[in-house]
Amino acid sequence: MRGCPQGMTVLRPQSAGEAVSLFAENPAARPLAGGTDFMVLWNMGEADGQTMLDLSGVREWRSIRKTAAGLSIGALVTHAELRDDPVVRREFPLLAQAASVVGAEQIQNRGTLGGNIANASPAADTLPALAVYEATVKTVSRKGARGLPLLQTFAGVKRTSLEPGELIAAIDIPYLPKKPYRQLFRKVGTRAALAISKTVAAGLVWLERDRTVRELRFALGSMAPTVRRLRAAEDMVRGKRLSRELAAEACELLPRDVSPIDDLRSTAAYRLHVSQNLLSDFLLG
């Protein structure tokens, strides 16, 4: 473990307003939430000379609130809090499941939902669940507040579309209009725990009584530069009766929305094959 980074400046706002002001006055500062990824950079010596905006003192961003429309989850809510919260577990179980497989328990106790989004890793475990729940990322800056649909928050690998001086304050998730017929969260990694995903999936499907698909939402991580909804497959199955042939046709459409790669963790072919199996198994139950 290295000592304190050389020349690092730490700004510690105690309120949301102070955080916005300090970030506007120090545009080169790096926002810091749980710090789980930052500690890796620290040990590598890449934090030397940086200015850090430590958001841990902003209490306004640490709560989970029920609203008329759904849940508003503060950006500093930890994965452990999401994993254990009874309302999240009941209303948005895929998010609770995703939070329960983020790293080790120590990471879950420190890492935050806002940090997971801002880090913009295509392998982030919570993002497919947030994508099928159609979450909105609420941001604040000196220009005011705005809401971004989750999928519009990402600009590429480790890149967001947040504007200079903009901080994530909360993530809003609307209640589902009706209970889905079936739900899925699945992380595929080299081992059952403490692994970065080869592919990570979340799905919701609503069926009519005759098994006609009313709506499908399916999202994949680790399969493209950003988390992706399978729009082509979702559109194709809508209004059609489920069958093995329909599931196979939906699986063939995956390459329209994802572009897996070969890397140290897996191959593109394996990722695509496993993701097609996950979609097929989910549709056919």
* 19, 56 contact by CB (below 8 A): no
Could you give the percent of the chain with pLDDT greater than 90? 83
44: confidence class by pLDDT, cuts 50, 70, 90: confident
Classify strands 9-11 and 51-54 as parallel, antiparallel or unpaired. parallel
Which of 201, 246, 204 lies closest to 224, judged by CA?
A: 201
Residue 72, C-beta contacts closer than 8 angstroms, at least 6 positions apart: 64, 65, 138, 170, 171, 172
Residue 225 backbone phi and psi in degrees, to 5? -60, -25
Q: What contacts 170, CB < 8 A, 6 or more positions away?
A: 61, 72, 73, 74, 75, 114, 138
Whole-angstrom CA distances from 137 to 114, 146, 152, 153, 249 are 9, 8, 9, 7, 33
pLDDT on residue 2: 46
- What is residue 4's DSSP assignment? S
- Check if the beta carbon of residue 258 is closer than 8 Å to that of residue 223: yes
Nearest to 202 by CA among 106, 80, 65, 101: 101
Mean pLDDT to the nearest integer, 164-180: 96
Q: Mean pLDDT, to the nearest integer, of 190-211? A: 89
Q: In this predicted model, what pLDDT tens digit does every residue of 53-111 receive, in sequence order?
A: 999 999 999 999 999 999 999 999 999 999 999 999 999 999 999 999 998 899 999 99
pLDDT band at 189 (very low <50, low <70, confident <90, very high): confident
Q: What's the pLDDT at 193?
A: 65
Strand ranges across the sheet with 51-54: 9-11, 51-54, 30-32
DSSP 83-147: HH-HHHHHH-HHHHHHHTTSSSHHHHHH-BHHHHHHHT-TT-TTHHHHHHTT-EEEEEETTEEEE
pLDDT tens digits for range 118-133: 999 999 999 999 999 9
Q: Which residue has the tokens 């919570």?
A: 126
Interval 152-171 mean pLDDT = 97
pLDDT for 38 equals 75
What's the CA gap between 150 and 148, in Å, rounded?
6
Q: What is the dihedral of CA 92, 96, 99, 104, to 10 degrees?
A: 180
Average pLDDT over residues 33-43: 78
Check whether 1 has a pLDDT greater than 80. no
Per-residue pLDDT of 240-262, as tens digits, reads: 999 999 999 999 999 999 999 88
Nearest Cα residue to 150 out of 169, 166, 173 = 173
pLDDT tens-digit map of 212-236:
999 999 999 999 999 999 999 999 9
Report which of 86, 141, 79 is spatially closest to residue 114, judged by C-alpha positions.
Answer: 79
- Per-residue pLDDT, averaged over 143-170, amounts to 97
Q: What is the pLDDT of residue 6?
A: 64
What is the tally of helices (H) and strands (E) in the chain? 11, 14
Q: Is the pLDDT of residue 211 over 70?
A: yes
Mean pLDDT of 186-199: 84
In angstroms, rounded to a whole number, what is the distance separating the alpha carbons of residues 97 and 55?
26
Query: What is the rounded average pLDDT for all residues in the chain?
Result: 93
The crossing angle, in degrees rounded to 10, of helices 244-252 and 268-284 is: 150
Task: Evaluate if residue 5 carries a pLDDT over 90.
Answer: no
Phi, psi of 36 (to 5 degrees): -70, -35
State the architecture of 182-284 in CATH terms. 2-Layer Sandwich (3.30)
Predicted structure pTM score: 0.94
pLDDT band for 192, please (50, 70, 90 cuts): low
* Architecture label for domain 9-54: 2-Layer Sandwich (3.30)
Tell me the per-residue pLDDT of 132-147, one tens digit each, with 9 for 90 and over: 999 999 999 999 999 9
Burial of 259 per CB tally in 10 Å (0-12, 13-18, 19+):
middle
Question: Where do the structural domains in the chain lie, given as residue ranges?
Answer: 9-54, 59-174, 182-284
Classify domain 59-174 by CATH number: 3.30.465.10
Q: Say which range, 6-10, 127-131, 237-241, 280-284, has the weakest mean pLDDT.
A: 6-10
Is the model's pLDDT at 48 over the cut of 90?
Answer: no
